[in-house]
Amino acid sequence: MASRAVDIINTGPSFTQADADALNARFAGMGTAAMLRVLFAEGALGRVAVVSSFGTESAVLLHLVAQADPTTPVIFVDTLKELTKRFGLGNSSVVQPDPAVLAAKDENGLRWSWDPDGCCEIRKIEPLKRAKQGLDAWISGRKAFQSVTRQNLPRFEIEDGKLKINPLGDWTKDDLEAYFEEHDLPRHPLEAQGYLSVGCQPCTSIVAPGEDPRAGRWRGWDKTECGIHSPSDPASGSDEGELPPGYEPAF
């Protein structure tokens, strides 16, 4: 009598560092738009989503993804709904902090004033971690030029067994400006006021001429990143600027 086949559940990571290295080598020198078209056409990313928000350059990443595959899921806060509609991205979801956690750990909404790391944890890190469950890969909007913590940012890297793609990692500010102009993309309303990196209202300030683009984040604190990305990453850093629900832009 033939023995019954044993069912095996694969609990290993979706991608390994070797996979990221191979992808970095394969797409070295290829334009970002062409790279995304190939990745989506081949289905090489498995279950993938874009993690985006109310950053000053969010429109560029969303437009690039929409041109490659408009069915790609987008995880974002509600301030970007108008962009997903304009670009034809029809599979979007909103991340929100857990109300019970907020009630227990930030009842008066002032945790940012004495514990910004803890505030980011409950309003950004935990909700996005929850939203990314079940994904094999996700697309970030980080750029190497934004700060010293993001130098040498690869296009592909591994975080918690997931493939993380940084399509704009090697883009310069001039590259972004040219893309905005070429495709007539909407600009962030706060950028003209000097907010070059937008986060939560209490922790975002105007950037002075000559300062690092992210100098206005957590000014006065020994903090440069929200912590969405793993500290073990060689180029750890936040996405282009998440704005947790409940906090309004810094006008």
Residues annotated catalytic, as ranges: 226
Phi/psi region, residue 19 (left: phi>0; alpha: psi -120 to 50; beta: rest), is: alpha
Compute the distance between CA of residue 52 and CA of residue 75 in angstroms, rounded to an integer.
6
Asked if residues 161 and 13 have their Cβ atoms less than 8 Å apart, the reply is: yes
The answer for residues whose C-beta is within 8 angstroms of residue 21's C-beta and 6 or more apart is 156
Give the three-class secondary structure for 202.
Answer: helix
Tell which residue, 125, 108, 109, has the closest CA to residue 117: 125
- Would you state the structure tokens that stand for residue 158, as one six-digit string? 């591994």
Compute the distance between CA of residue 241 and CA of residue 46 in angstroms, rounded to an integer.
25
Tokens 């006065």 locate to 220
Cα–Cα separations (whole angstroms), residue 77 to 27, 184, 191, 234:
31, 23, 18, 27
Tally Cβ neighbours within 10 Å of residue 138: 22
Compute the distance between CA of residue 18 and CA of residue 34 in angstroms, rounded to an integer.
22
